Amino acid sequence: MKNFYVTTPIYYVNGDPHIGTLYTALAADIIARYKKLNGKKVFFLTGTDEHAEKVEEAAKKSGVKTEKYVDLMSKRFKEAFKSMNVSYDRFIRTTDNDHVKTVLEFYKKVYNKGDIYKGFYEGWYCVSCETFWTEKELKDCKCPDCGKSVKMLKEETYFFKQSKYQKEIIKHIRDNPDFIKPKARKNEILSFLKQPLRDLSITRTTFKFGIPVPGDEKHVLYVWFDALINYLTAAGYPGKKYTNLWPANFQLMGKEIIRFHCITWPAMLLSAGVELPETIFAHGWWTVEGKKMSKSVGNVVHPAEFCRKHKVPVDTMRYFLFRQMPFGSDGDFSEAQFIERVNNELASELGNLVSRSIVLIDKYSNSEVPAGIADVKLKNKYAQMLKNYHSEMNKLDYYNALNTVFKFVHLVNKYISDKEPWKLSDGGELHNVLFTLAQCINAVSCLIYPFMPETSEEIDTQLGKGKGYNKNFDNIKRNVKIKKGKILFPRISR
Ligand code: MSP
């Protein structure tokens, strides 16, 4: 059976990772964990994009050889992912041997198809976005995407005939409603495809750090042509087994790089006779306190460092990034709102529910889940909620999935206040309430696991669940010993 395959863009290594770059990786981590928890075999790919002109420039600036620089920087990405518990299955680097080999084979295939020809490129180039622009596309003589200066390129180049595939791509987008998500991005691409596509320059002669073009080694392959192929390298293309993973189920990325993923990438795949991915999902951009995040403004947020500063677990950041705005929209990162969400939602609602439940079981049932019967109303509510949750998760609607879970958390807190177990005398009803609470916090632990894995594990420990314990409602057995533990979310003082 084909495995579930999710990818992130591979990251340029000319700067340190931050909440923007981590955002795509965390989004992929969430769906990967969710699918694994639900019994799927999953392959989650991420990595670094190293053969770029801007990377070569950054290495020069730092006075280190490019090869050494990319080693150092890609390690920094790995560390940042580890600090945020990003559970990838492979971290690919475009300098990896198997990738270089796959790129060359892919190039050969497209070349033999007659889709690569030699020509001359004259036009503008933005090194920061590694993108070619026409005069008409520039905004006030600057890059229309990042606003930085562009430079004039005049060089011999090889072109990839992406224009040949324009009609087929439009048809594919129209016939496959889930191919580009969200809808606004699909419309953006269809509207762009109303004008004739230009062929893409796919080789460069003015810098060196790249894969040399077979048979014409003064050219190196253009970073995007090289980078996009990483998704196939990791799947094992062109070996027969690549179809165990390919086509990818979800290819995630920020909205600024969808033209490459929704036009160039499909054209490359069509040329090579490879199936197109199922869904390309573009998320929005984070600003910080209302401003574009940038080193020069000094407002770059490094997630693990930020959590350390506030003495809260990294799960708070994982939660915040997906609760603050719908996945797909733009949003603003604000310290005040982060603190508010940690205090009001994580500490007061979720943390409080778990600690109250554990304390109650500890105090009134001798630290053991009593032999009770689960509250029918709450159990039914949970079943309804679960349906919504699964449908939201499968659509990557993380925002509503979290809303759904937190509505349930709120309901269970209300159940405790309504039942007032501390006023119940020993026996039947008290045991039913405590038993219900154990089931509820176990269920919540499963639901939050993709977003907050460490918190989920801590709840499991406090609930006395063993490793590999099946994560389902009604699974906490009677007489299981619970274990009072640490406070899940310390409040942040302002
Ligand atoms: N190397 C290319 C991708 C090649 S994939 C074949 C690239 N790299 S990147 O490092 O510039 O960006 C990687 C991801 O980080 C993108 O999905 C991008 O949208 C995301 N983000 C970087 N800054 C961001 C924000 N401020 N907000 C949200 N995401 C942003 O593009």
- What are 245's two structure tokens? 């993973």
d(CA 134, CA 428): 76
Q: Tell me if 289 is assigned to some domain.
A: no
Regarding the beta carbon of 133 and ligand 1, being less than 6 Å apart is answered no
Does residue 303 lie in a domain region?
no
Judged by DSSP in three states, 13 sits in: coil
> Which residue's CA is the closest to the ligand 1 atom numbered 5?
9
Cβ of residue 319 lying under 6 Å from some atom of ligand 1:
no
Same domain flag for 322 and 228: no
Q: What's the domain count of the chain?
A: 2
Residue with tokens 């026409």: 134
In a domain, 482, yes or no: no
Same domain flag for 184 and 43: yes
Predicted pLDDT of residue 1: 82
Q: Give the mutation target among 8, 22, 23 for probing the ligand 1 site: most ligand atoms within 8 A of CB.
A: 23
At residue 477, φ and ψ (nearest 5 deg) are -75, 155
Residue 34 Cα to ligand 1 middle (Å) = 23
Residue of minimum CA distance from atom 8 in ligand 1: 11
Which residue has a Cα nearest atom 15 of ligand 1? 21
Instruction: Give domain status of residue 293, yes or no.
Output: no
Q: For residues 223 and 209, what is the distance between their CA atoms, to the nearest angstrom?
A: 10
Let me know if 173 is exposed, middle or buried by CB neighbors in 10 A (0-12, 13-18, 19+).
buried
Which residues, including other chains, have CB under 8 Å from residue 374's CB and lie 6 or more apart?
432, 435, 436, 439, 474
Q: Which two tokens stand for residue 237?
A: 């293309």
From ligand 1's centre to the CA of 254, what distance in Å? 6
Is residue 34 within 6 Å of ligand 1 at its C-beta?
no
Give the closest residue (by CA) to ligand 1 atom 14. 21
Residues 426 and 206: their CA atoms lie apart, in Å, by: 81
Q: Is 11 in the pocket of ligand 1 (CB under 6 A)?
A: yes
Q: Atom 19 (ligand 1): residue with closest C-alpha? A: 254
What is the rounded distance in angstroms from the CA atom of residue 157 to the CA atom of residue 143?
A: 21
369 and 361 Cβ atoms separated by less than 8 Å: yes
* Shared domain check, 274 and 322: no
Ligand 1 atom 24: residue of nearest CA: 20
Q: Are residues 324 and 280 in the same domain?
A: no
CATH code, domain carrying 270: 3.40.50.620
Ligand 1: distance of its center to the CA of 413 in Å?
A: 39
Calculate how far, in angstroms, residue 10's C-alpha sits from the geometric centre of ligand 1. Answer: 8
Atom of ligand 1 nearest to the CA of 254: 19
Same domain, 216 and 325: no
Q: How far is the CA of 257 from the centre of ligand 1 (A)?
A: 8
CB atoms within 10 A of CB 75: 12
> Is the Cβ atom of 257 under 6 angstroms away from ligand 1?
yes
Does 264 share its domain with 329? Answer: no
Query: What range defines the domain where residue 438 resides?
Result: 315-463
State which ligand 1 atom lies nearest to the alpha carbon of 284.
Answer: 28
Q: 226 in ligand 1 pocket by Cβ < 6 Å?
A: no
Pairing of strands 212-213, 151-160: unpaired
Residue 395 burial (10 A CB sphere; 0-12, 13-18, 19+): middle
- Whether 476 is covered by a domain: the verdict is no
- State the DSSP H helix or E strand holding residue 46, giving kind and residue range, or none if neither: strand 42-49
From the CB of 10, is ligand 1 less than 6 Å away? yes
End residue of a domain, out of 266, 284, 302: 284
Regarding the beta carbon of 182 and ligand 1, being less than 6 Å apart is answered no
Among 6, 11, 185, 288, the mutation site with the greatest number of ligand 1 atoms within 8 A of its Cβ is: 11
What letter does residue 319 receive in the DSSP assignment?
A: H
204 shares its domain with 349:
no
Describe the strand order of the beta sheet including 331-333 as a list of residue ranges.
291-292, 286-288, 331-333
Is the domain of 88 the same as that of 179?
yes
Q: Residue 339 belongs to a domain with what CATH number?
A: 1.10.730.10
Ligand 1 proximity of 285 Cβ (cutoff 6 Å): yes
Indicate if ligand 1 lies below 6 Å from the C-beta of 7: no
> Is residue 124 located within the same domain as residue 171?
yes
The answer to whether residue 488 is domain-embedded is: no
pLDDT tens digits in sequence order for the chain, 494 residues long: 899 999 999 999 999 999 999 999 999 999 999 999 999 999 999 999 999 999 999 999 999 999 999 999 999 999 999 999 999 999 999 999 999 999 999 999 999 999 999 999 999 999 999 999 999 999 999 999 889 999 999 999 999 999 999 999 999 999 999 999 999 999 999 999 999 999 999 999 988 899 999 999 999 999 999 999 999 999 999 998 999 999 999 999 999 999 999 999 999 999 999 999 999 999 999 999 999 998 778 899 999 999 999 999 999 999 999 999 999 999 999 999 999 999 999 999 999 999 999 999 999 999 999 999 999 999 999 999 999 999 999 999 999 999 999 999 999 999 999 999 999 987 799 999 999 999 999 999 999 999 999 999 999 999 988 665 556 666 777 788 999 999 999 999 87
| 371 in the same domain as 257 | no
DSSP designation for 464: T
Asked if 112 and 201 sit in the same domain, the reply is yes
Q: Are residues 358 and 417 in the same domain?
A: yes
Residue pair 424/447 in contact (Cβ under 8 Å)? The answer is: no
3 state DSSP class of 238: coil
- In a domain, residue 484? The reply is no
Atom of ligand 1 nearest to the CA of 255: 19
Helices 303-310 and 19-37 pack at an angle, to 10 degrees, of: 90
Per the CB < 8 A criterion, the answer to whether 326 and 286 are in contact is no
Residue with tokens 């889930």: 178
> Using an 8 Å Cβ cutoff, are 139 and 147 in contact?
yes
Largest CA distance in the chain: 87
Answer whether residue 257 is part of any domain.
yes
